[in-house]
Chain A
Amino acid sequence: MAKITESTRNEVREIVFAFFAEECEADKSQITDNTNIIKDLDGDSLMFLELIEIFKKKYNLDIELKTIGKYAVKHPVDTIGQLIEMQMLIIEHENRLLELDK
């Protein structure tokens, strides 16, 4: 279980904001935690997968997609803020993510 520091949190936020700004051709300064990924940014579910791959590589995470899939069914992500929170949990708990629901 990785310890989430303020620096990690800021780094994740920065990566997520930059990713959506680039992929959705959006103004980064206009993206907030409350921005809806589909409605406001015209994003898609594949972006979530791509971000997971980015974080898997960056933090050398041991997590299977099916684990994230099972977790996401119970905890849907609509906004940028929710997505960042889920990324934090993934980084922190990796393959033990589902234990959070027990």
Chain B
Amino acid sequence: MAGKVVISGMGIVSSLGYDLETFWKNLVEGKSGVKKISLFNASSCATQIAAEVPHEFEEYSRCLVKKRAAGQMTRVTRMCLVAAKQAVTLSGLDFEKEDKTRCAVIMGVVNTGNSSVEKDTSPQNTVFKSMTNSMPAWISLEYQLLGPNFAINTACASSAYAIAIGMQMIKNNMVDVVIAGGADSIINPEEINGFNALYALSVANDPPEAASRPFTSKRDGFVIGEGAGVVILESEEHALMRNAIIHSELAGYALTSEGYNIMAPMKDGAGMAATIEKALQNAGVDKSEVGYLNAHGTSTELNDRYETMAIKKVFGEQAYHIPVSSSKSMIGHTIGAAGAIEGIITILSLKNNILTPTINYSDPDPDLDLDYVPNVSRQKEIHVALSNSFGFGGHNATLVFRKYPGN
């Protein structure tokens, strides 16, 4: 097994910004990216709100994605490529100096967003736009990489899985560098009506920015978000050899399956707890070291209840001293991209010693009694932080990040 795996680059496209700096600033200020849906006429849907990536992203992406290639991608695939290019730029990697057979791309992809909304605006190239491997393929094409290149679909845990598998491939000395992450957008009538039929989405349309309220008594479902998050994983040795800036260590992970229900989490959060426990063991982290947990925190009745129970089960009395916050209160649930985007938020929290809040926390659920970092961000020196992702079908993932010395 190789030594440590580190993060040397990050890229983001989200409702709160499509560069790291703006994104982080908005998160720290506790802003919401949730608005009335503008991508299509949602007036006949029970849910009429979502956290959309600003329309200005299209203009921005033209500088980074060639016109010819852009026409063969969906909007969300363009988001993925843009986030990947940001991450590579930040990492300072020059792939012409790398052994390209040892550079991998792994993306969490639930779907490519080739929905009725996309087809209404751009009906060409259906096959390329629908290929679920298109996101990693375009990234690999961009840099002419020759290592493993694939997509993973584990629903809302997809991009956390991508990061974890990337880490393992480095640990196993299969590759030196992995571009890992994911992108997603399900802001279209088919998906919204589908999730409404499952009573999974918030219908608190007015005001939109107050709809996502994880861990409160008034939570009524998740709010759909969209975007992309991509990180550069490297062996520590490789990163140090090229004098890269290291943003954090990815210390460990756990991937588990609940084998329980296609939608609901296992009762009392038993599967979630097992995942967190295994991740801490994998990372070799003592529970007392954990200073922050970026929750899956969907704002649904069951997730928030069971995730809270899981945290208490794992940490016991210490759970009350670990700040837990849900980024989904601000950027909605970005589905296949959530693991990577929230992983990046966790890394930035470690790097900046700032915990981003759970906004809209105004009516506490008396059963959910942890420290959810209510409404305002908080300065706190932390050394180890976790990021949870749980998907329909019982796909669970927990990533463990550790502050990198000297950073």
Contacts and interface: CB of A to CB of B under 8 A. Distances in A.
Interface of A: 23-25, 42-44, 47
Nearest to A43: B68
A42 B66 CA distance: 10
A43 B68 CA distance: 8
Nearest to A41: B68
Contacts of B66: 24-25, 42
Interface in B221-260: none
Interface of B: 66-68
A25 B70 CA distance: 12
A77 to B, nearest CB: 18
Contacts of B67: 23, 25
12 contacts: A23-B67, A23-B68, A24-B66, A24-B68, A25-B66, A25-B67, A25-B68, A42-B66, A42-B68, A43-B68, A44-B68, A47-B68
Contacts of A47: 68
Contacts of B68: 23-25, 42-44, 47
Nearest to A47: B68
Contacts of A44: 68
B129 to A, nearest CB: 13
A47 B68 CA distance: 10
A24 B67 CA distance: 7
A24 B66 CA distance: 8
A44 B66 CA distance: 13
B70 to A, nearest CB: 10
Contacts of A42: 66, 68
A80 B16 CA distance: 44
B71 to A, nearest CB: 8
Nearest to B124: A50
A94 B342 CA distance: 57
Contacts of A25: 66-68
Nearest to B125: A46
A45 to B, nearest CB: 12
Nearest to A42: B66
A92 to B, nearest CB: 29
A43 B72 CA distance: 13
B28 to A, nearest CB: 38
B64 to A, nearest CB: 13
A23 B124 CA distance: 14
A23 B66 CA distance: 9
Given A24-B68, A25-B66, A43-B68, 9 more contacts: A23-B67, A23-B68, A24-B66, A25-B67, A25-B68, A42-B66, A42-B68, A44-B68, A47-B68
A44 B67 CA distance: 13
A23 B71 CA distance: 10
Nearest to A23: B68
B78 to A, nearest CB: 16
A47 B67 CA distance: 13
Contacts of A43: 68
B246 to A, nearest CB: 33
Which 5 pairs of residues, A with B, have the shortest CB-CB distance?
A: A23-B68, A25-B67, A24-B68, A25-B66, A23-B67
Contacts of A24: 66, 68
| Residue of A23, A43, A47 with most chain B CB atoms under a 10 A cut-off | A23
A13 to B, nearest CB: 21
Nearest to B128: A46
B169 to A, nearest CB: 29
B295 to A, nearest CB: 44
A44 B125 CA distance: 14
A66 to B, nearest CB: 19
A1 B67 CA distance: 37
B134 to A, nearest CB: 14
